[in-house]
Amino acid sequence: MDVAPDRVGDRPHRGDDADRGERRRHRGPLLEADEQDEQRHDDDPAADSEERTEEPGDEADEYERHGRIVRAVSALTRLAEAPDRAAILLDVDGTLAPIVQRPDEAAVPEEARRELGRLVERYALVACVSGRTGEDARRLVGVDGVRYVGSHGLELAPEADRWRDEIHRFASTVDWPVEDKGLTVSFHYREAENEDDALEYLEEVAERARTAGLVPRFGRKVLEIRPPVQADKGTAVTQLLEEAGLKRALYAGDDTTDLDAFRALDGLELGVRVAVSSDEAPDELVSAADIVVDSPAELLALLQRL
């Protein structure tokens, strides 16, 4: 992909979090209707029209939302009809594992592990593409048969390794607790006493990283410093699908870096983009998604349809 990594998601989302949460609560999950609901509306347009006249101001939005639900259900059905031709690709933190205060406290629920095991038996490829190292993602998810790719896809880029020492030298100059991810380092501010002060400091760190030739990227309450290598979750998804010879895939994620993976599904025979939404999720991710769910638990319910 020809995407400049230091220009995609390199700033924190500083909008009104309360307003964003209120908008998302009104929006609701995209797949709240089931197939019987869709069939009822498709077979009875008069009833659908009558319902929509009750809220004339929302008619266009409701009609579009209904259409998106129908398309989403259709895409999931097509994917599940030929699992030997498709891949299920998933982020880990915030997608399979709920977000927690400290990354080392994260856990993938046992029910989600069992579901991944079932998907491994059905689909041609099941992979976790994580910001953690591949080894750490494997430890956290703990399901055999899943392909684990870490460091946002950098582990598939051999040229990234030569920046390892430079990134760690830079991290040693930052007066902030650091999470060492091998090919990247992260500075979390979820537990900061004053988030505004924390962001101001980390924005200065990000600017110093750019000056040093490194790539800063803000995500959900975190600043990550990456090597200047054209590799991301999108290039990882593309490589995984090409290696497996697959042109159908579902990808689910919750943060800025997952936008790269969404774009990697462009041009496939069938691509399904799932955003796991929250008050912290970037608006761009929700807008780019084919399906929106409101939590890892809702994602699990969606995966159980496959």
Same domain, 113 and 11: yes
Same domain, 132 and 55: no
DSSP 8-state class, residue 93: B
Cα atoms in the Cβ-side hemisphere of radius 13 Å centred on 242: 8
Rounded-to-integer distance, Cα 20 and Cα 216, Å:
24
Look at residue 31 in the predicted model and tell me its pLDDT: 56
Same domain, 57 and 152: no
C-alpha closest to that of 125 among 153, 154, 81, 85: 85
Same domain, 41 and 155: no
- Across the chain, which has 306 residues, the per-10-residue mean pLDDT values are 36 48 44 44 42 52 68 91 98 94 90 98 98 95 97 94 95 94 93 93 97 93 94 97 98 95 97 93 93 96 96
Same domain, 12 and 155: yes
Same domain, 194 and 302: yes
Q: Residue 19: give its domain's CATH number.
A: 3.40.50.1000
Look at residue 66 in the predicted model and tell me its pLDDT: 62
**Two tokens at 305?**
């349809």
Look at residue 104 in the predicted model and tell me its pLDDT: 83
Look at residue 30 in the predicted model and tell me its pLDDT: 53
Same domain, 212 and 246: yes
Structural domain total, the chain: 2
Same domain, 36 and 11: no
- Do residues 131 and 181 make contact, with C-beta atoms less than 8 angstroms apart? yes
Look at residue 93 in the predicted model and tell me its pLDDT: 95
Q: Which domain holds residue 197?
A: 1-28+85-306
- Residue 281: CB atoms within 10 A of its CB come to 24
pTM of the model: 0.77
Q: Which of 78, 112, 143 is the C-terminal boundary of a domain? A: 78
Rounded-to-integer distance, Cα 138 and Cα 146, Å:
8
Catalytic residues: 91
